[in-house]
Amino acid sequence: MLDIFKVPEEESVRVRAADLRRVVTSLFERVGVPPDDATLGADVLVRADERGVDSHGVSNMLRGYLTGYQEGRINARPEWRVVREQASTATIDCDRGLGIIIGPKAMGLAIQKARETGMGAVTMRNGRHMGMASYHAMLALKHDMIGMAMTAVGANVLPTFGREGRLGTNPVAVAVPANEMHPFVYDVATSMVAANKLQLIRRLDAPIPGNWIADMEGRIISEPGPLPEAGQYKLLPFGGTRELGSHKGYGLAMVVEIMCSILAGALPGAMTQRGPANHFVAAYNIDAFTPVDEFKKTMDEWLRLMEATPPAPGYARVLTPGQEEAEAEVDRAAKGIPLHKEVVQWLEDICKQLEVPFNLREFAASA
């Protein structure tokens, strides 16, 4: 993680994951989500916090989800259904259900199909925010499968050479099991930076690097500086400038839009005023392609080799995708989840407002 995303220790309070799950579950239930779904939704959010993916954890996401439920934009009791299906594939209408809750169900279907035919792919229209995409991809791991998840949401990101937003930050996640090593978990926005990460930066009041955003006319801001006010900048596709390959990030965001939206029978973000989030999940059954034991053994050896790559001058080590998150899991299991003080205060306030018990103990105090 870049240092600019780290919450300073003195501004944070460490809380217990179990407490956080309980509070979040109660809040979801309070806005009408059935108990099982509320528990699942809380798990997706808190899992992000446990893995150090603060941008997609409770701090950044919960407020918007609760408001969405309260205002009726998100359906607390969606009647999602499979609208088209073949042996390896399905299309789901999410009935405005939250992606963090319907994603795991769609992934369950993809896993089932992968067990039967070798792989399964499910595209999902009319959904709402998916949270940390890798949560859904990682559900495949315990079945010895490779999981994939992507989501298309909104139209804030400029095409290469463009001055108007036409694409979402459209992340892609891939999770691959190893044996003794941590799983490979890739989860990246196809924009230069996830919109949620900019929110985090705003809270931390940090400057942003050059080539991350453009001004309102689409001129790329190439020097580092403060993040302009909300609504006063445009997001760039991954790559930043054409010379640095922004057409690759832009094109990949379009691939995500096609698989999540158009393949699901929905319109892409640029063609709707304020579109829903559409998703795509897939599972590949490793045993259908090659013996699982050999596969995981090679993954172990390869991840070790990659992480042992001699670093370039000035760097301590080479990382692999999922390594820092696995390390954060160990660290946060031992020390609790650090939440910014403002976030804890907001949680207390919202619990009071919704008449939900606020029993979030400080980690050290409860040890």
Find the binding residues for its own copies in span 264-293 (CB under 8 A). Answer: 264-265, 267-268, 270-271, 284-286, 288-291
Q: Which of 263, 326, 350, 354 binds its own copies (CB under 8 A)?
A: 263
Site string for its own copies, 20-39 (x = CB under 8 A): --------------------
Residues contacting its own copies: total by CB under 8 A = 88
Closest distance of CB 135 from its own copies, Å: 17
| The Cα angle at residue 270 between residues 232 and 158, in degrees rounded to 5 | 45
Site for its own copies, residues 93 to 132, rule: CB under 8 A: 116-119, 121, 123
Are 97 and 75 spatial neighbours (Cβ–Cβ below 8 Å)? yes
Q: Which of 76, 139, 176, 200 binds its own copies (CB under 8 A)?
A: 176
Q: Which of 6, 251, 354, 358 binds its own copies (CB under 8 A)?
A: 251
| CA-based nearest residue to 192, from 128, 241, 148 | 241
Residues 6+ positions from 60 with CB-CB distance below 8 Å: 54, 196, 199, 200
d(CA 355, CA 343): 18
Looking at beta carbons only, is 228 or 251 nearer to its own copies? 251
Q: Which of 9, 10, 71, 243 binds its own copies (CB under 8 A)?
A: 243
Closest distance of CB 131 from its own copies, Å: 19
Looking at beta carbons only, is 237 or 338 nearer to its own copies? 237
Site for its own copies, residues 125 to 164, rule: CB under 8 A: 146, 158-164
Question: Interface with its own copies includes 179 (CB under 8 A)?
Answer: no
Site string for its own copies, 310-329 (x = CB under 8 A): xxxx-xxxxxxx--------
d(CA 36, CA 29): 9
Closest distance of CB 42 from its own copies, Å: 28
Looking at beta carbons only, is 304 or 352 nearer to its own copies? 304
Looking at beta carbons only, is 263 or 354 nearer to its own copies? 263
Site for its own copies, residues 328 to 357, rule: CB under 8 A: none
Question: Interface with its own copies includes 70 (CB under 8 A)?
Answer: no
Residues 6+ positions from 271 with CB-CB distance below 8 Å: none
Question: Interface with its own copies includes 295 (CB under 8 A)?
Answer: yes
Residue indicated by tokens 């240092």? 3
**Residue 158 CA from chain centroid, whole number:** 20
| CA-based nearest residue to 160, from 71, 26, 253 | 253
d(CA 242, CA 262): 26
Looking at beta carbons only, is 306 or 354 nearer to its own copies? 306
- C-alpha distances (whole Å) from 90 to each of 102, 112, 113, 137 are 14, 11, 9, 17
Are 295 and 174 spatial neighbours (Cβ–Cβ below 8 Å)? no
Q: Residue 37: which H helix or E strand, with range?
A: helix 35-50
Site for its own copies, residues 71 to 90, rule: CB under 8 A: 84, 86-89
Residues 6+ positions from 210 with CB-CB distance below 8 Å: 221, 222, 223, 224, 225
